[in-house]
Structure 1
Amino acid sequence: MDTPSSLDRILRTTTLIAFFPALALLIPYGVVSCSVIPALGLVPAFFSAILGLPTSYLQRAQLTLYIDVFLAVSHISILIPFWVLNAGWNSWESGGVIMLGTYGTVLLMMDFCIHTFFVLRHIFRMCRMFSLVRTCPNCRTHIGTGVISRIARVSAEKPRHSCESEALYQPLDAPNYDDEAPKYDDEARISSEA
């Protein structure tokens, strides 16, 4: 049962507030241009506004993910034909109509960006959840994302447990080099040269 963060509330409320100017701009544009596309653009904007109501914060993140995906796809599927048809108005007399439609699409683009943000944030959280879980074999510390600085700080300190000493981490069958045993057989080499 996750409560929405303040950013979630602000963005959802923004979709609610953006619906009313979009309604005021896209209805006259649809009437003047004799096009049904602006009215279709108001359908996903209306559902975005319903999702943005303060009492409709859904408690299930998976359901809001599906709704956000649906609304983002429906917004972009309305916006692309809207831009293509709006580009067909090339006469000088239709400048005000084009401007009215452009201002209406800005609000739809804002809704699209908000829903896309929620979808991408959820996808990045899912990817972070499936990342590899690593554990340090020496100190049994979980190494995850954002823990690298803490691990580097801990490794510069003394061992965390009394059983962690340098001798425990050396190979078992490593040869023992004492100071008495020469690394090179210099005496044998000198005697063979003479």
Structure 2
Amino acid sequence: MTTLLRLPTAAEAFTEDEVLHTDKLDWFHVYSTENYPDTKPDTFNEGYGASRFAPLFQADGTPVHTYYIASTIECAVMESVLHDVPLRPAGTFELDRLRYFHLVRLQIPYDLKFVSFHTPYLPKMGISRTALVDSPPEDYPCTRAWAQAAYLQQPAAQGIGYGSRRHDAARCLMLFGQRLPSRRFNVLETESLATGELRRNIVNLMRRLDLNLI
């Protein structure tokens, strides 16, 4: 690893924040059926993969079920469809793959508590956004350790909140499935990324990023 991020201790100064249901915020999630054809709009990740903040594990060693949402459509696309596509030098995207991707628009119908990894709350832990959120994939074992510590040390938290590395104008939440009510969220709409205005907007985004489209 190249990170300057230290490993968390057994008692970190995490900050809890809250998303209020009265705000009636729309959140967005993109899921893919390319490798997992049975994925649905409300399917949680049950422990596979290796991302910045997941997989996580409960105290008994079983996986925490996670679900990523973003405050804008563009951020949800950047964090999923284009997550591994380099921006400089510009990478390549095969437009036919859009047929596997679907956008979910949802609302959370309850007050949701989350551990905040947003910039104002990191200095009191002696860490930085650069090290925690903006670091490269080879540092994920260390950044995941912080997410794991947040999960175990803040038992009332139902997720982790942070600013997107891929689109820093937007907010992201990673939800903890086992700590949510049985009615996890309300799906308002699901739409294929391969058709209509949504496809046009995503292609325009890719062109603004100067990606090579095939």
TM-score band w.r.t. shorter chain: under 0.3
TM-score of the aligned structures, taking structure 1 as reference length: 0.20
Q: Which of 1 and 2 has higher RCO (CA within 8 Å, sep 6+)?
A: 2
TM-score of the aligned structures, taking structure 2 as reference length: 0.19
